Amino acid sequence: MPSVKTALVAGASSGLGRAVAEALAADGNTVYAGARSFARGKQPPAGCRALALDVTDASTIQAAVSRILGEQGRLDVLVCCAATFTMSPLEELPPETLADMMQVNLIGAARCVQAVLPVMRAQGRGHIVLFSSLNGLFSIPFQGAYSATKHAIEAYAEALSQETRRFGIRVTVVEPGDCSGGSQQYRLTHIAQDSPYAEAFRAGTQKIHHDESHGLPPVRVGKAVARAVGKKHPPARLVVASLEQRSGAWLHKFLPRKLFNRVIESYYR
């Protein structure tokens, strides 16, 4: 793979996606930043070329890939960061909301992957970076729907790697911990006015907000992804999190599940 790469970052208008696009561009790569908001005039990340891309609309994805090939003649890297998020007790979460989250977080990524795979196979090389989360490894209260989409990404990426390695395509799953900045602007909540979960929901979401506000800056994740993209042999998994955040994954791996659930419930109580 060339040292200077052509990359498409889906979901690059804000947060981690924007940070990744900026970090890749800062390393000298040619970066196309895709998001719906660029069609409405929002400025792209520094050093990037804007694409009006909606991961729920296959035609915009194909148009983006066609433009990149027309201008660059190749596409070396796909990064899928687009995501939506609603916090809610699972008993009260409308199934339609879960379907919408799956449509963006999982199926949107799959649309992007399917659009670039024929190009990467023809090239005999490529790197696909899919964003999961530490919540793709374990769940926490009131983020069960989001965690379900990220668990799905983990499974999807694992099979994708097994199927495409023979074509010279590498797959990396990024598992960030809590990151500061921007999440509250886009996050939704859903809870009934007389919900029996109201007290626990209030305490749990306050803890979540606190941890995110004290989380890693998105630029840390962006630079970590850029380093991985620059490697000849990129990692299959890339955890970017504080030691405290990583401990949750370790506890999930080694503790009996009943005990782990009690620890997490107590932490967010």
CA dist 215 and 221 (Å) reads 11
CA dist 171 and 1 (Å) reads 14
Q: Please answer whether residues 53 and 35 qualify as being in contact, where contact means their C-beta atoms are separated by less than 8 angstroms.
A: yes
Phi, psi dihedrals of residue 165, rounded to the nearest 5°? -60, -35
Q: In 3D, which of 97, 84, 89 has the Cα closest to residue 144?
A: 89
Query: Which residues fall within 8 angstroms of residue 33, CB to CB, at 6 or more apart?
Result: 9, 12, 13, 17, 18, 21, 44, 45, 48, 49, 50, 51
CA dist 26 and 215 (Å) reads 23
Catalytic residue IDs: 13, 132, 146, 150
The secondary element (H helix, E strand) that includes residue 97 is helix 95-102
Residue carrying structure tokens 């390695």:
165
The secondary element (H helix, E strand) that includes residue 158 is helix 144-164
Residue carrying structure tokens 């970090």:
23
Q: In 3D, which of 57, 62, 41, 45 has the Cα closest to residue 9?
A: 45
Q: Is 69 exposed, middle or buried (0-12, 13-18, 19+ CB in 10 A)?
A: middle
CA dist 36 and 234 (Å) reads 29
Task: List the Cα angle 226/157/215 in 5-degree steps.
Answer: 50
Q: Which two tokens stand for residue 122?
A: 């023809």
